[in-house]
């Protein structure tokens, strides 16, 4: 038997990422985001849903740029911290010990400890109610070369990304099988 529930956001698991942004004074910030996803492949785009009262909201809206940093399990403590403390309360870079390096095409920095970084440029902002959806084009992808497989694709079993299940962080579990398109079947 299934019961009906009131509508609420229930689509989990989702990836958890660290979004880096730069405020009007040029100060970098890191904010944890889980309502994030890939939304187009050509041009490649991601979407991040951000509540307007987050400190990073204004920084991203003003500059039209941010970086999606994909953390590994090793960065879990920083992920949880950057998702519960605002820049208004603390310098999260200093508090977590995470380090940054300059991006190539955007102003906000990359987080060095995250093995994958996507430099993003905002194309559209859609107001949805509680959150605004920032749809952004991926300008540059940075990958730790130790993660690449023989075909040059990112081996996410090595990247150890973190999945968010609404109130808990999980590691990615067991491989089930390869996707059809990897065996030569096309997606229509």
Ligand X SMILES: Cc1cc2nc3c(=O)[nH]c(=O)nc-3n(C[C@H](O)[C@H](O)[C@H](O)COP(=O)(O)O)c2cc1C
User: Which residue, chain included where needed, has tokens 């039209």?
Assistant: 64
From 27, 51, 99, 155, residue interacting with ligand X (rule: CB under 6 A): 51
Residues binding ligand X: number (CB under 6 A)? 20
By the 10 Å C-beta count (0-12 exposed, 13-18 middle, 19+ buried), 147 is classed as middle
Q: Cβ distance 153 to 61 under 8 Å?
A: no
Minimal distance, residue 32 CB to ligand X, in Å: 4
Q: Cβ distance 75 to 98 under 8 Å?
A: yes
Which runs of consecutive H residues, i.e. helices, occur in the chain? Answer: 55-63, 76-82, 92-96, 156-159
Minimal distance, residue 75 CB to ligand X, in Å: 12
Give the Cα separation of 47 and 21 in Å (integer): 15
From 76, 85, 122, 147, residue interacting with ligand X (rule: CB under 6 A): 85
116 touching ligand X, by CB under 6 A: no
Query: 184: which strand partners?
Result: none
Task: List binders of ligand X among 163-182 (CB under 6 A).
Answer: 164
Give the Cα separation of 99 and 70 in Å (integer): 14
Minimal distance, residue 182 CB to ligand X, in Å: 30
From 45, 69, 72, 83, residue interacting with ligand X (rule: CB under 6 A): 83
Minimal distance, residue 176 CB to ligand X, in Å: 25
Name the site residues for ligand X (rule: CB under 6 A).
16, 29, 31-35, 49-51, 54-56, 83-87, 131, 164
């Amino acid at each position: 038997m299934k019961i009906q529930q009131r509508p609420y956001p229930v689509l989990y698991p989702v990836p958890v990422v660290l979004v880096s942004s730069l405020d009007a004074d040029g100060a970098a910030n890191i904010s944890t985001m889980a309502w994030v996803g890939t939304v187009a492949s050509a041009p490649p785009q991601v979407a991040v849903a951000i509540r307007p009262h987050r400190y990073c909201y204004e920084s991203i809206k003003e500059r039209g740029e941010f970086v999606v940093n994909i953390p590994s399990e090793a960065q879990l403590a920083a992920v949880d911290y950057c998702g519960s403390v605002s820049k208004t309360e603390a310098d999260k870079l200093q508090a977590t010990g995470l380090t940054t390096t300059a991006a190539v095409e955007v102003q906000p920095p990359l987080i060095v400890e995250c093995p994958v970084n996507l430099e993003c440029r905002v194309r559209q902002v859609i107001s949805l109610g509680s959150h605004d959806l920032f749809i952004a084009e991926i300008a540059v992808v940075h990958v730790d070369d130790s993660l690449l497989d023989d075909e040059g694709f990112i081996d996410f079993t090595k990247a150890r990304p973190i999945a968010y299940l609404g109130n808990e962080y999980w590691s990615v579990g067991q491989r089930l099988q390869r996707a059809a398109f990897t065996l030569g079947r096309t997606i229509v």
